A and B are shown apart, each in its own frame.
Chain A
Amino acid sequence: MSNSHSNPKPSERTPSNLRAEIDGLIADRAFNPASRRLVELWRRDPSPATSCFVTLRLDEIRDEFSLTKFKLAISRSFTVEPLVPLLRAEAFRYGIDLEVQIGDFNTYVQDILDSRSSLYLFAPDAVVLAVRTDQAAPELWRDFADLAPATAERATPGIVGNIVNNYEQCIATFRKYSQAALILHSLECPSWPSLGVLDNQSDTGQSGLIRQINRKLRRIAAEFPGVYILDYDALVARHGRERWNDERKWLMARLPIAADYLLAMAREWIRFIVPLSGRTAKVLAVDLDNTLWGGVIGEDGVTGIQLGPEFPGAAFQSLQRALLDLSRRGILLAVCSKNNRDDAMTAIETHPGMLLRAKDFAALRMNWTDKEQNLREIAQELNVGIDALAFLDDNPFEREQVRAALPEVTVIDLPKNPLNFSAAVRGCAVFERLALSKEDRHRTEMYSAQMQRSNSEQTFQSKTDFFRHLEQEVEIDPVTELTLARAAQLTQKTNQFNLTSRRYTEVQMAEMVKRPGWHIFSIAVRDRFGDHGVVGVAITHDTGDQCDIDTFLLSCRVIGRTIETAFLAYLATSAAERGRKRLLGRFLPTKKNAPARDFYQQHGFHEQETSDLGSRWTLDLEGSTLRCPDWIKLKVN
């Protein structure tokens, strides 16, 4: 914090001498610094004028370095041309070289239905269908008053149905002809509905019907892969309908959006283009002092920092809530702060206002090393590239240092007022996702559980203490139709703790389970830090008085925690229950399965024979001491 008033050189540059510097750099063919200055200029002054400056320069230098190319077609019912420089300048900030093609006015239906139209010839990566209510649903816009109240009730379902049908046909046809993503504007509600306040007293008023269409569009879009709704009505509402719309420009140039909001429209498109082009961040590294809370923990102490539901602490809570939302989208959070570790950890773990706790962070760096080094370590620890990192810090000096040292990192510009922090994070396009998997939603838990496990392993006196502390619960089930796919996947993927490395497909396993004497078991593991799901598979078949272990494997995430003992003990018990006298196991060595080599020996098996191909082991079930460890809670179905 002490450095925040001694700003670095970049703030001495004004936008106008930045322009001169950029033109000088381009003349000297210094394209990389020129491109960095262009982004800096755009960040500091994202205005229509600057967007023209930036895109003209970008066209001169775009071939000199590698940007992600992205082709966007815009099919529209209104003037979008002035948006193009803003859109391209904003895309450039994310490392995207955007090529834009604009369709003719109101020819979007023909363009979509004609497989040889210029729309398809352009071979876009994404298409925006920017159509306003006045064009898509004229009956519900200016002409709404023409529907007499008596006929309106009867006529409106047909009107809504027709409009929705037209959209559905366009979308279906588009999907037939193109693989491109389709971004569909929702329909806007009027500022002043024809019926005044009466409009909202029924579902079939002007606004109600438009909302009905929007609901149906959302449902239709969900049925097609790669079709997304841009909630234009919500976008306008966010900025204020009265301010957003400029009737004068609409009448003069068919441009409905006021000059001040062109950037907001461009940025809304960018929120789709960034995830579509893969320029997203996977990890957000955050500072602590004056970012996650107000004040400096090392000076103000846990009782002195600002954090809570009231002003001024509410601003920081609201930022924490935004960060929690990101982690639910699968974005990993990390702490990157210059602090004494103990001070910071006390605040994180004990302050009543903290919404984020240590478990919410996949990596923690609280030390006095510079942020560049810490960010590099975080990327390495989480196994992501530097370009997958975003960085959040209230201190402009730290931000500039990171920008200079690691230009691949997305550095978020926090506004001065903490009350605006959360909106700055929520508006950041690198955190947008267009679909979420189950793993995305639980990614942080998985990472932080891993981190806690390895941390607690270091603090326990004995392994047994550690195993008890883990509170492991194990559930062993015969494989069913529901778990067959996962079990087959494990036989395909597991390399390290895999005794025989036999790979089976789902079909083979389905057939195997029907054979007499064959059993396939899956094992699921949960511990105090989280749920691992199904992590292991064993296949046995009974021949004569012995039970032959065809396959025994565990995911490397859970090995070395005696889960393998519990699983093997269960195989022994169930074989004995079926009247078998001996367990037979094999170890077939591969390049990767050394961790499993001594498994049978460690569990009291006797070696029968060994060759280059592997070794064969048996265990007499009578008198065997093989038991499930008492620190594991076993559930058998």
Chain B
Amino acid sequence: MAASTLEQVRSIASDVFGIPADQINAESSPATIANWDSMQHLNLVLAVEERFGVQFDPDEIEQMKSVGAIAEFVDKLETT
């Protein structure tokens, strides 16, 4: 997984949740971020899709419940 993808997803998450990027890491998830609810999850996914020019399937979106997981899915889509 390219570090730059994780960096970018962290900064997107920082925008969406209103939390400084240095307080977000690969393990950040709905369990560690208070306002990461289902609507914010959709916002986060859309922001990531727009930034990287990708589209996720519904089952992928269900699985990507951490910042690191999202970055992994992005890398997978970008390389295939």
Contacts and interface: CB of A to CB of B under 8 A. Distances in A.
A82 B58 CA distance: 17
B55 A16 contact: no
Interface stretch (A50-58, A430-438, A510-518): A50-58
A253 B15 CA distance: 21
Contact of B42 (A49, A50, A53, A255): A255
B46 A262 contact: yes
B46 A48 contact: yes
A255 B18 CA distance: 23
Nearest to B18: A56
Interface in A79-130: 79, 81-82, 85
Interface stretch (A244-252, A415-423, A546-554): A244-252
B57 interface: yes
Interface string A248-264: 11011101001110100
Nearest to A250: B58
Q: How large is the interface on A (under 10, 10 to 19, 20 to 34, 35 or more residues)?
A: 20 to 34
B50, B51, B55, B58 — most chain A CB neighbours (10 Å): B50
A259 B50 contact: yes
B50 to A, nearest CB: 4
A503 B62 CA distance: 75
Given A82-B42, A259-B50, A248 B55 contact: yes
Contacts of B18: 52-53, 56
Interface string A280-312: 000000000000000000000000000000000
Contacts of A260: 49-50, 53
B45 to A, nearest CB: 8
Given A47-B47, A52-B16, A259 B55 contact: yes
Nearest to A251: B58
B55 A52 contact: no
B53 to A, nearest CB: 8
B3 to A, nearest CB: 16
B39 interface: yes
B11 A16 contact: yes
A415 to B, nearest CB: 19
Q: How large is the interface on B (under 10, 10 to 19, 20 to 34, 35 or more residues)?
A: 20 to 34
Chain A interface helix/strand/loop/mixed: helix
A259 B16 contact: no
A262 B43 CA distance: 11
Contact of B15 (A49, A249, A252, A259): A49
Interface in A605-636: none
Contacts of B43: 48, 52, 81-82, 85
B26 interface: no
Contacts of A50: 15
Given A52-B18, A258-B55, A252 B46 contact: no
A47 B50 contact: yes
Nearest to B16: A52
B61 interface: yes
B73 interface: no
B47 A52 contact: yes
Contacts of A48: 43, 46-47, 50
Contacts of B42: 79, 81-82, 253, 255
Interface string B8-21: 00011011101000
B51 A47 contact: yes
Interface string A64-81: 000000000000000101
A53 B17 CA distance: 9
Contacts of B46: 48, 82, 249, 259, 262
Contacts of B39: 81-82
B12 A259 contact: no
Interface in B19-74: 39, 42-43, 45-47, 49-51, 53, 55-58, 61
A4 B43 CA distance: 38
Contacts of A82: 39, 42-43, 46
Contacts of A248: 55-58
A252 B49 contact: no
Contacts of B47: 47-49, 52, 259
Nearest to A84: B43
B33 to A, nearest CB: 13
23 contacts: A47-B47, A47-B50, A47-B51, A48-B50, A49-B11, A49-B15, A49-B16, A50-B15, A52-B15, A52-B16, A52-B18, A56-B18, A81-B39, A82-B39, A82-B42, A82-B43, A248-B56, A251-B58, A258-B49, A258-B55, A259-B47, A259-B50, A260-B49
Given A48-B47, A52-B47, A248-B56, 8 more contacts: A49-B11, A49-B47, A52-B16, A53-B14, A79-B42, A82-B42, A253-B42, A258-B49
Interface of B: 11-12, 14-16, 18, 39, 42-43, 45-47, 49-51, 53, 55-58, 61
Query: 6 smallest A-B Cβ distances: which pairs?
Result: A252-B58, A259-B49, A49-B47, A48-B47, A53-B15, A49-B15
Interface of A: 16, 47-50, 52-53, 56, 79, 81-82, 85, 246, 248-249, 251-253, 255, 258-260, 262
